[in-house]
Structure 1
């Protein structure tokens, strides 16, 4: 296409030479501006298609050159002068066009492509130069050889030039620096830790070798059952979203032959509800894809930070922790008979929170300890729930007491805080008592050994059972 245009231009030049029409050097727009005067000709601004009458290259020193039309050699002569000025570091240029308008600009090299000798960006393999306006750095022009009759085509009308520039305009992208450390420290409720909560549910395996799995619908049903059971147990969480999540694994033998397909369109419909499918990579290795379900949930009223201050002489923290069947750790008991010497749980307001939570038929669930999440995070293909152990957590809390270092607990809330800690949890407006689902204490998992009440506070770690069906770790 470009070659055809160049041939047509050369033919017009030959015809013009025969008719006596002279060639002139005109300005050609390389990069347009968004300012209105660049398109409308206001304010004495030079325009694309203006005929060049004089060019001053340099600031006026010994190397400065003043070239006037007609230019011997045309555009090539002007480029030679600009090349010499650019090499000596004198890039100042003044251009006067027909009609009296002037352009003050600087010389800069241009790497744009072009195939014709008459193009401002062309010229074979030689270094090319353009002019950047000092009035508007976005306005870039170049010199080009044209016939006077062609100048009108370059100039055109304002509407056609703007429409042409609009069709050629392209949006540019790039990278910007971002202060991640500062944002993660200052903008998050828990510095450097997200508030997104999720549970990964793997498909149930149908054999010991995990070669066959239940359908994806079964996986979604298990995720739904876990969420609903958690809510019934008194966990203050609500559903946000659920999505499929692909996990790569290596397969072989019968599993590979049964799952790796040819990739035809007819096989795509079978993948929709399948939890294991495969493909063969470039090296001939069979890769399996296990489709799990990622359940996203959140606290009904976000998380609240409760700090438990410790003092020298504290012999116990004054509360016990247990774990539900769904894997959540919660405060199961708090001491009440500490009038002579207040336990840390009383000083911090934890006892009042616990009592008000029980009145609201909710569990006081611990979501983080020292900003580390202690929530369940995965349901395996065997059905077991990956969660944290209450014994090891009790030991860590006891070590805080021995080191006299304050404990930071984050609790899942169901009402937004509205006052001091002791009044943070207020009983919500609930339906009649007969319609309220009571906390199913029989769902609480007990893994700690049963001990006598008299041994509650023996050693650094002790245990107590308030209810025959509840196992609690006292600290």
Structure 2
């Protein structure tokens, strides 16, 4: 009994494939007991093995022209035949190479073999079985093998973002007021701000609202740290270039704040830089459709409101500073780039000088000020 207990078997101790949800039942898995192999499907060519050194020695004698071998492994109460490749791996002793096996379908899946007792093999098999059950429970059951593909991130950002250095998505952080000790109260205030912005004609689409911290009622030594609301332009974000000419002393647009902290174009002068850039046409369409023409970014910098303090003040961009930047640019005859949140208008007979990127088409606001339906292009 004692000798049987200490008897060792050739076993897969571990595999080098770290992405476990890409393992496959047809691959050698930790705990698999290797009883032998053959160079083809015939039983007459089956080569039994009893030790790891014997297995490696016999692998080294296989014809190099043989692409696959057939492993005979014991996994639980079942005996399986797995297809595998012979791989060369460096050992620690003077970095000498020795033969081992890898999965036929994934060259990263290389087996680390060892002489283990039956008890050790059984423990490893149980670990592998539990892992398989866990992966299946979260939807990672054996499926198609995955691999990495190259992606031209720079080109995609240049093509599909209004500004390749800025995200289309914005967010605003709502800190709880002194009197607010409940998550529901702060969340309600957050949604009141969003609903008021949409009702006033600011084209927004809510993505998510997440909280940080816990309710005061749940744990007295922790307080709510804030609600962050993520949103994006509800219709489309359009790039406008304002190109002044010598002798012009203003861009010809008036900007103001909405009550919710957004910067909007309040008016556009005729025969001005802004009109040549297409802003007057967009402004008139906005008013006719019940929207505000909101500036989302100026020279790549966000003009969106960023946070609401503990005292309830909305932190937003300083209009005085924005006007100073515009004034400086017009006097230096510098081109200014700004992005406005607008809407698609397929009825235009001629192309507009503006460039629309990242369109998200929505229906017009309903009488209650909410968007009825939405779809992403």
TM > 0.5 between the two?
A: yes
**Residue 168 of structure 1, CA deviation:** 9.7
Residue 181 of structure 1, CA deviation:
5.5
Q: By how many angstroms is 1:397 displaced?
A: 1.1
Report the counterpart of residue 323 of structure 2 in structure 1: 394
The match for 2:313 among 347, 371, 384 is: 384
Give the corresponding residue for 1:294. Answer: 228
Indicate the SS of the match to 2:60: strand
What's the counterpart of residue 191 of structure 1?
Answer: 164
Q: Which residue of 1 aligns with 2:244?
A: 310
Alignment match of 2:100 (pick from 132, 146, 149): 132
Is the Cα–Cα contact under 8 Å of residues 170 and 232 in structure 2 kept in the other structure? yes
**Alpha carbons 1:309, 1:406 under 8 Å: kept:** yes
Give, in angstroms, the shift of residue 27 of structure 1. Answer: 7.8
CA distance in 2, matches of 1:227, 1:436: 13
- CA drift of 1:296 comes to 2.0
Partners of 1:329 and 1:169 in 2: CA distance: 53
* Per-residue Cα deviation, 1:57-95 (whole angstroms, up to 9, x for no partner): xxxxxxxxxxxxxxxxx987x79x98xxxxxxxxx9325
Structure 2 counterpart SS, 1:415: coil
The offset of 1:129, in angstroms, is 7.7
| Inter-CA distance 377–39: structure 2 relative to 1 (3 Å threshold) | farther
Deviation at 1:231, TM superposition (A): 1.8
Within a 5 Å distance, the mapping from 1:321-400 to structure 2 comes to 321-336=255-270, 342-400=271-329
Residue 421 of structure 1: aligned partner: 352
Q: Find the aligned partners of 1:193 and 1:226 in 2 and give their Cα distance.
A: 24
Shift of 1:165: 12
TM superposition shift of 1:401: 1.1
Distance 1:277 1:369 in 2: 44
Aligned CA distance change for structure 1 residues 275 and 393 (closer, same or farther; 3 Å)? farther
Q: Which residue matches 2:332?
A: 403
Distance 1:273 1:93, change over 3 A: same
Q: What TM-score do you get using the length of structure 1 for normalisation?
A: 0.50
Q: Does residue 208 of structure 2 align to residue 217 of structure 1?
A: no
CA contact (8 A) 1:352 1:422 kept: no
Query: What's the counterpart of residue 80 of structure 2?
Result: none
Q: Residue deviations 1:376-427, cap 9 Å, x none?
A: 1111111111001111111111112122221111111243677522799999
The separation in 1 between residues aligned to 2:305 and 2:286, in whole angstroms, is 21
1:356-388 per-residue CA deviation (whole Å, 9 max, x = no partner) reads 211122211111001110011111111111001
Whether the aligned pair in 2 keeps the contact of 1:416 and 1:424 (CA below 8 Å) is: no
- Secondary structure of 1:243 counterpart: strand
- Counterpart of 1:408 in 2: which secondary structure? strand
- State the aligned residue count: 307
CA contact (8 A) 1:27 1:47 kept: no
Shift of residue 164 of structure 1? Answer: 10
1:55-454 equivalences in 2 (<5 Å): 93-94=60-61, 108-109=89-90, 130-132=98-100, 167=129, 184-206=157-179, 213-246=180-213, 271-272=214-215, 274=217, 277-278=220-221, 289-336=223-270, 342-415=271-344, 420-421=351-352
Distance 1:328 1:393 in 2: 13
Secondary structure class of the residue paired with 2:3: helix
Q: Is the Cα–Cα contact under 8 Å of residues 320 and 332 in structure 1 kept in the other structure?
A: yes
Counterpart CA distance in 2 for 1:128 and 1:167 is: 34
Structure showing greater Rg? 1
Alpha-carbon shift at residue 334 of structure 1 (Å): 1.4
CA distance in 1, matches of 2:167, 2:242: 23
Asked whether the 8 Å contact 2:165–2:300 carries over to 1, the reply is no
In structure 2, what is the equivalent of residue 469 of structure 1? none
Show structure 1 runs of 5+ residues with no match. 14-25, 52-73, 83-91, 112-124, 145-162, 207-212, 247-270, 279-287, 337-341, 438-475
Distance in 2 (alpha carbons) for counterparts of 1:107 and 1:238: 55
Task: Give the 3 Å change call, closer, same or farther, for CA 140–380 of structure 1 in structure 2.
Answer: closer
Give the number of the structure whose residues are more often strand, by fraction: 2
State the shift of 1:243 in Å.
1.6
SS in 1 for 2:48: coil
Conservation of the 8 A alpha-carbon contact between 2:168 and 2:233: no
Q: Distance in 2 between matches of 1:243 and 1:134?
A: 45
Does the CA contact (< 8 Å) of 1:371 and 1:409 recur in 2? yes
* TM-score after normalising by structure 2: 0.61
Aligned to 1:362, what secondary structure does the other structure show? coil
CA distance in 2, matches of 1:335, 1:143: 82
- CA offset digits 1:25-45 (Å, max 9, x no partner): x98777899589x97863569
Structure 2 residue runs without a partner (length 5+): 16-24, 29-35, 64-68, 72-84, 116-124, 136-144, 370-377
Deviation at 1:214, TM superposition (A): 4.0
